[in-house]
A = this chain, B = another copy of it.
């Protein structure tokens, strides 16, 4: 693991996720930019091999016979690219937090490096790990919604409603520092909303018009954004996100309407997916049922009514990636169900979305949002 030192919320999340199914053991890490802190934290975690920097770790692990098979990168955004690159170039697979990078150049460099070195790269757009998000995608793929017409993706939080970055919150400090985070709400959560919509609908953006705002005085990044979107093929919709919606927790929701029905899913009540057909009664898909899609069932551990939640969804990204990495290491074809995790190409699309939205906000106009990453490939 790179990053995720003391007090880093997301470091704990990643460690819990890799442990969930007993598929990985954390044996090495560079947990902090300060080598002493890194070593002390490694000792606390019971991690054997502590390193002072990611460069040092990449080099040393690549040289060991029993070196790591995969690295988790959970640093602030601006370090994703150099850290990931250090491992990719040595043939070590990567699980990386989102957004992939702070510039499109970096993102595309990563895409090319992944292809060149043949490693596996998974991006933790963790919300696509929820079983009922996978069911939503399956409903769309099966044509249950008909032709998609409208998408509304919302991600509202309130934890940045006040200038907590100036009141001691480390989390808030780097996430509102344009150098470390790239963007604010757009990068931190808007990219999740966009990725969720893409994952479920399979649609790629064509154009967008964004209203990007900073409400908290003195903040150097956006903390709220509302975006009109048009998808290739003609569907439209809205993506909106906020980190200043005071009192709101982690309210990510997706609504998709097609010619034959509409679906609604909300991350805070993730064990149900509502489908309203054009005619007839509402159906509520509930996690764990035998009649869900293969991908949804592959992503569930407990029977119906025994709720699963955020940690399990996050673990689904990890476990699929870890099984894929293990299969490839063994020279086997990965199980297609295991290839269901966000890729480096998804990450490049996300970076393009963030930068395009920022640009539209500045111009106060509709802009082209179509994009194709250097080359495609799923789970590679």
Name A's B-contacting residues (CB within 8 A): 9, 12-13, 15-16, 19-22, 45-46, 145-146, 149-150, 152, 154, 156-159, 161-162, 209, 211, 213, 215, 224, 226, 228, 230, 236-238, 240, 242, 244-251, 255, 257-262, 267-271, 275-286, 288-291, 301-312, 364-366
Find out whether the CB atom of B149 lies under 8 angstroms from the CB atom of A224: yes
Contact B309 A307 (CB under 8 A): yes
Lowest 7 A-B CB distances belong to which pairs? Answer: A249-B305, A250-B305, A247-B276, A307-B309, A309-B309, A282-B284, A249-B304
CA distance in complex: A161, B154 (Å): 23
Which residues on the B side are within 8 Å of A15 (C-beta)?
Answer: 22
A79 to B378, CA, bound (A): 49
Query: Which residue in B251, B285, B307 is a CB contact (below 8 Å) of A281?
Result: B285
- Considering the complex, give the chain B residue whose CB is closest to the CB of A145: B246
Q: Are B291 and A281 in contact (CB under 8 A)?
A: yes
Cβ of A236 and Cβ of B226 under 8 Å apart? yes
Q: Separation in Å of the A349 CB from the closest CB of chain B?
A: 21
The chain B residue sitting closest to A244, CB to CB, is B149
Contact in complex: A305, B22 (CB < 8 Å): no
- Evaluate contact between B257 and A245: CB separation under 8 angstroms: yes
Known A-B contacts: A156-B255, A226-B237, A308-B310. Give 6 more (CB < 8 A).
A161-B257, A162-B259, A226-B228, A246-B276, A247-B276, A269-B307
> In whole angstroms, how far apart are the Cα atoms of A213 and B46 in the complex?
52
Q: Which residues of B contact A279 (CB under 8 A)?
A: 290-291
Distance in Å from the Cβ of A222 to the closest Cβ of chain B? 12
Report yes or no: B305 in contact with A157, Cβ–Cβ below 8 A: yes
- A308–B305 touching, CB < 8 Å: no
Instruction: Give every chain B residue within 8 A of A248 (Cβ-Cβ).
Output: 257, 262, 276, 305
Could you tell me if B277 and A247 are in contact, using CB atoms closer than 8 angstroms?
yes
Contact B250 A236, beta carbon cutoff 8 Å: no
In the complex, what's the smallest C-beta–C-beta distance from A180 to chain B, in angstroms? 20
- Specify the chain B residue showing the minimal Cβ separation from A126: B306
Interface centre among A20, A226, A259 (most CB of B within 10 A): A226
A216 and B153 CA atoms in complex are apart in Å by 23
Contact, CB under 8 Å: A242 / B291: no
Q: What are 12 A-B pairs at a CB distance below 8 A?
A: A149-B224, A149-B245, A161-B259, A209-B209, A211-B228, A211-B230, A244-B257, A247-B275, A249-B276, A281-B289, A307-B309, A309-B309
Chain B positions within 8 Å of A275 at CB level: 247
Establish whether residues B149 and A278, one from each chain, have CB atoms under 8 Å apart when the complex forms: no
Residue of B nearest to A227 (CB): B228
Q: Which residues of B contact A21 (CB under 8 A)?
A: 16
A230-B211, A268-B271, A365-B365 given; A259·B236 CB < 8 A = no
Residues on the B chain within 8 Å of A305, using CB? 157, 248-251, 267-268
Docked Cα-Cα span, A291 to B308, in Å, equals 25
**Given A226-B228, A237-B226, are A12 and B311 neighbors across the interface (CB < 8 Å)?**
no
Name A311's contact: one of B149, B230, B262, B301 (CB within 8 Å).
B301
Selected from B240, B267, B284, the residue in CB contact (under 8 A) with A152 is: B240
For residue A156, which residues in chain B have a CB less than 8 angstroms away from its CB?
255, 257, 262
Expressed in whole angstroms, the minimum distance between the Cβ of A193 and any Cβ of chain B is 13
Once the chains are docked, how many angstroms separate the CA of A82 from the CA of B160?
Answer: 52
B209 x A211 contact (CB < 8 A): yes
> Do B307 and A270 touch (CB < 8 A)?
yes
